[in-house]
Structures are given as C-alpha cells and as structure tokens.
Amino acid sequence: MVDFYRGKFSILKKKNLSKFIEIHKNTILNYNIINDFELNDVSSLDDIKNCSLIFINKKRKKNTKNLINTDKLFCAITDDFDFYELNKNKMNIILIESTDNLYREFLDSIYITDDSTLFSDEYELINGSYISLNASVDKSSKIYPGCFIGMGCIIGKNCIIKQNCSIKNSIIGKNTIIQENTSIGSSGFGFPANKGSNFFFPHIGIVIIGENCSIGANCTIDRGRIDFTLIDDNCMLDNLIHIAHNVRIGKNSTIAAQSGISGSVSIGENFKSGGQVGIAGHIKIESNVVAAAKSGITKNIKGNSVVAGFPATDINEWKKEIIINRKKNK
C-alpha cells in the first residue's frame, strides 16, 4: 500500500478516543476501550494506520484477520453485534446501529475536508492559477493559467498542467502531462440511502498518478473513499474518461476516449481499451487484457484475454455470435 499522511489534505481535529466517545455517546450502543490514544487517522481494513478508526460494516465485512495481527493502535467501529461480542475483550471497539448512517457524523468530528463549508486554506495567484500555500509544485513543472492546485497536492518534476485543470487531494509523479479542463481528486459518487433518502458519503482518500503518464482533456479522476485511486506509471488516458473512487490501474495501460470505470475496480498492467468501454464496479481485470471498443465488462477477466461485446466475452466467441445473428436476420 502507498503511505500518505491524510492531514496534509484535510484539517485534522485532534482529540483522544475517550473524547470522541464522549462526543458521540448518544449514538453509541456499547463500547470497550483497552488503550486510549490520540486519533490521527481513519483506516480501511486493507491498510491499517496507527491511531486510527476503522469502520466495519456487517454487510461488507472482510479481512478482519488483519485487526488481530497488527501492532497498530486502532478502534473498530461496527454495526455487527456478533463481531462486537467476539472481539470486545481483544481490541478497542465501539458498537453502533449503522456504520453507513453514522459514518459522516463520525468523520466530521475528526476531519474538515474541502467538501465542508468550514474548510479553509490560503492560496497564491501565480500565472493566473490559484495554488495552495500548502501544496508543493516542483519548480521545473509548468502550470498554465486558470488552474487550481489544492491543499497538500504534490506535483513532481517536469510536469505540465494545461489550462483550467482542478487538482485536489492528489500526488502527481514526474514527467506527467494533464490536458485542459481535467478534474482530479474530487469526491466520488457515493450516496447510500438512509430511511429512504440519499445522503452524501464523505471521501477522505487521495489520487496518485505515477510517473510518465498522460491524462487527456475533460477527464475526471475521483479521490479514494478512504485510501487512494491509482493511475500507475506510464499510463495513457485519452480525452473524456471517468475514473471512479478506489480504482487501481496498473502500469503501461492505455484507455481510449469516452470510457468509464466504476468504483473499486482493480486493473492489472498493460491493459488496453478501445473507446466507450464501460467497466462495472468491484471487479478485477488481470494483466495484459485487451477490451475492444464499446465493450461492457461486468465480471472478472483473466489475464492475457481479448474481450468484446456486452456483456464482454472472449472476442472469438463474440465474433461467432455476430455471424450467427447475421445469418438469423437474413
């Protein structure tokens, strides 16, 4: 996992775990605290950070063995009564009614993100672009007019950021070029329902774009929900591409225009995609896969495959189906 300090991108409200419990006592059903500590972060189960909160939803429980094996200080927050009873004497743990419903309330008591009216930062106007005083832009890089570079962002050596780009909550590797009107690091699309009404699901992750990448014009790359969205080294994205939260794209991948990748998709190295390809969320595409234009990928794809059609299937099978359908229609 890539290590980054979330406090560079959001404002941390420092408080001890005991104080956090006191603030939220009306929504906490039960708790057991073995070690008090100062809260510094929020973690996913895949990347446990020291002195952090970890939300464990009973519907999406996974990798909980990591909690037993880690030496990091943390407090688990769960809506799973059985999980609470099993672990209440083994770890710091809080039982609540619903992690989905209370996630934002709990998060707002720890962080102020740029999705909050309370968020504040200071900017410098350089060559017609607003650049945060808390961002780091290498002096060898060029930022064209009309751009916004937010708090904590790191722009590496020899990068080119074209006009009217918005870059927030992001780390950009060296020798990367980003074309006009692209937005990187905004919050993803997450609106779970609470009693029949949708509510905004906060994002506190970042975007990491590797070295020697090319990002086309009018693209959108969403920040991770808790961890990060990754475009690895030597990736080439065409214009008008959307990359949703938590997506991981491996090295040397190329994606043609008007393609969309849903949240939490994992793509291996050397992926090649034609235009207007759509990929459903939470699936895994292994390395060396080619997707023909207008493919709709709805399930995991093995490595070294060539797929086409909707739903995407082996391209030779897809061609056979085309021939059969043509004969039927004669």
Average pLDDT over residues 129-152: 98
Range name among 184-198, 255-269, 279-293 with the lowest pLDDT average = 184-198
CATH topology of domain 6-112: 3.40.1390
DSSP β-bridge partners for residue 87:
none
Task: Tell me the residue ranges of DSSP E strands in 203-325.
Answer: 206-209, 214-215, 220-222, 228-231, 236-237, 242-243, 248-249, 254-255, 260-261, 266-267, 272-273, 278-279, 284-285, 290-291, 296-297, 306-308, 313-314
Q: Which of 49, 41, 85 is nearest to 67 (CA)?
A: 49
For residue 1, the model assigns a pLDDT of: 53
Average pLDDT over residues 267-277: 98
Give the CATH superfamily of 123-318: Hexapeptide repeat proteins (2.160.10.10)
pLDDT band at residue 284 under the 50/70/90 scheme: very high
Domain boundaries, the chain: 6-112, 123-318
Query: Is pLDDT at 190 greater than 80 in this prediction?
Result: no
For residue 191, the model assigns a pLDDT of: 74
Structure tokens at 70: 């880690």
Query: Is pLDDT at 108 greater than 90 in this prediction?
Result: no
CA gap 113, 274 in Å, rounded: 36
pLDDT band at residue 193 under the 50/70/90 scheme: low
CA gap 64, 53 in Å, rounded: 14
Mention every residue, 6+ apart, whose C-beta is less than 8 A from residue 103: 55, 201, 202
Q: Which of 34, 80, 87 is nearest to 57 (CA)?
A: 80
pTM of the predicted model as reported, rounded to 2 decimal places: 0.93
Say if 6-112 and 123-318 have the same CATH topology: no
Structure tokens at 327: 């004969």
For residue 300, the model assigns a pLDDT of: 98
Query: Is pLDDT at 128 greater than 70 in this prediction?
Result: yes
Average pLDDT over residues 194-201: 73
CA gap 142, 118 in Å, rounded: 31
Q: Are 261 and 279 in contact (CB under 8 A)?
A: yes
How much is the mean pLDDT over the chain? Answer: 93
Q: pLDDT > 90: what percent of the chain?
A: 76
CA gap 167, 154 in Å, rounded: 10
Active site members:
245
CA gap 120, 135 in Å, rounded: 14
CA gap 27, 24 in Å, rounded: 6
pLDDT band at residue 2 under the 50/70/90 scheme: low
**Count of alpha carbons within 13 angstroms of residue 122, beta-carbon side:** 2
